[in-house]
């Protein structure tokens, strides 16, 4: 490995009360990598992602984001979060704001960008997700796929070093999944560092630099997609892939 990992997780445990959801996760993501996390429902994928920006507080272990230990009490977590874009299953757009306003509000409030600059950057990123013509629309006037692309543009407008995606296409009608995956494929091609929880096995197979299979709060196996999908080493991986493919 050369240089610093974008994410470096060591010995991560997370419990909710008596329920141990993450049971010792070691994972690193290097600059420019696209790491896809797959695994059954309840295996801890969302919790893992949420620990990276401390939406969940780890019970034990270490998480470094671009070299900064996020569990260190002295860490400025707001500063770390500014460098991380997160896209969820639910788009969480402001319904009373236009698309342009949705993509500028955090730029103005958090990054203190001026109005003209924020508008210019919003326009660039709406162009990037193929929605340059929707800046004046309200979320309710858009399809689910378009709304999710606005959510991606909103995250990109903050110049993230890292993008986290938690099942970004799971709430979409099947015919709208492709347009969102196409945007994500484009980001990967631009070299964006991405950690993606997904059920889209064809996407993972084609776009991931590495696939991580989680079950029961541990990483069961990980490797290049051709290996994990083509020659899984672990029986649990084979059983999961057999169910979903």
Which residues are at the interface with ligand ADP (CB under 6 A)? 16, 19, 21, 39, 41-47
Rank residues 38 and 122 by Cβ distance to Mg ion and give the closer one.
Answer: 38
Rank residues 33 and 167 by Cβ distance to Mg ion and give the closer one.
Answer: 167
Q: Which does 160 bind (CB under 5 to 8 A by kind): ligand ADP, Mg ion, none?
A: none
**Taking the CB of residue 84, how many other CB atoms lie within 10 A of it?**
23
Beta pairing class for 60-65 and 34-38: unpaired
Q: What is the closest distance, in whole angstroms, from the C-beta atom of residue 236 to Mg ion in the complex?
A: 18
Q: What is the closest distance, in whole angstroms, from the C-beta atom of residue 70 to Mg ion in the complex?
A: 20
Say whether residue 43 binds Mg ion (CB under 5 A).
no
Q: What is the closest distance, in whole angstroms, from the C-beta atom of residue 45 to Mg ion in the complex?
A: 5
Say whether residue 46 binds Mg ion (CB under 5 A).
yes
Q: Provide the total of helices (H) and of strands (E) in the chain, helices listed first.
A: 9, 10
What are 120's two structure tokens? 């210019």
CA distance 8 to 64: 5
Contact 126, 99 (CB under 8 A): yes
Q: Which does 225 bind (CB under 5 to 8 A by kind): ligand ADP, Mg ion, none?
A: none
Site of tokens 């019970």? 59
Residues of this chain, 56-95, that bind Mg ion according to CB under 5 A:
none
Q: Which does 47 bind (CB under 5 to 8 A by kind): Mg ion, ligand ADP, none?
A: ligand ADP
Rank residues 189 and 239 by Cβ distance to ligand ADP and give the closer one.
Answer: 239
The answer for residues whose C-beta is within 8 angstroms of residue 36's C-beta and 6 or more apart is 196, 197, 198, 203, 204, 207, 208, 210, 211, 212, 225
Total residues at interface with Mg ion (CB under 5 A): 1
CA distance 37 to 114: 37
CA distance 132 to 129: 8
Q: What is the closest distance, in whole angstroms, from the C-beta atom of residue 40 to ligand ADP in the complex?
A: 7
Contact 211, 225 (CB under 8 A): yes
Rank residues 46 and 53 by Cβ distance to ligand ADP and give the closer one.
Answer: 46
Q: Which does 2 bind (CB under 5 to 8 A by kind): ligand ADP, Mg ion, none?
A: none
Residues that bind Mg ion (CB under 5 A): 46
């Amino acid at each position: 490995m050369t240089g610093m990992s974008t994410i470096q997780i060591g010995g991560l445990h997370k419990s909710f009360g008596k329920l141990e959801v993450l049971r010792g996760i070691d994972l690193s993501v290097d600059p420019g990598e696209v790491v896809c996390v797959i695994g059954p429902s309840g295996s801890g994928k969302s919790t893992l992602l949420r620990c990276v920006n401390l939406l969940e507080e780890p019970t034990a272990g270490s998480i470094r984001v671009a070299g900064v230990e996020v569990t260190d009490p002295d860490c400025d977590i707001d500063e770390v979060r500014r460098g991380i874009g997160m896209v969820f299953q639910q788009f969480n757009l402001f319904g009373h704001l236009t698309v342009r306003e949705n993509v500028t509000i955090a730029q103005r409030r958090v990054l203190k960008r001026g109005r003209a600059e924020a508008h210019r950057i919003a326009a660039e990123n709406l162009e990037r997700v193929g929605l340059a013509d929707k800046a004046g629309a309200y979320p309710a006037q858009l399809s689910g796929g378009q709304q999710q692309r606005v959510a991606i543009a909103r995250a990109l407008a903050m110049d993230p070093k890292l993008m986290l995606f938690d099942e970004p296409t799971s709430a979409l009608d099947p015919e709208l999944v492709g347009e969102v995956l196409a945007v994500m494929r484009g980001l990967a091609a631009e070299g964006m560092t991405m950690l993606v929880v997904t059920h889209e096995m064809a996407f993972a197979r084609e776009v991931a630099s590495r696939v991580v299979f989680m079950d029961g709060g541990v990483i069961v196996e990980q490797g290049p997609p051709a290996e994990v999908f083509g020659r899984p080493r672990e029986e649990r991986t084979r059983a999961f892939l057999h169910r979903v493919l």
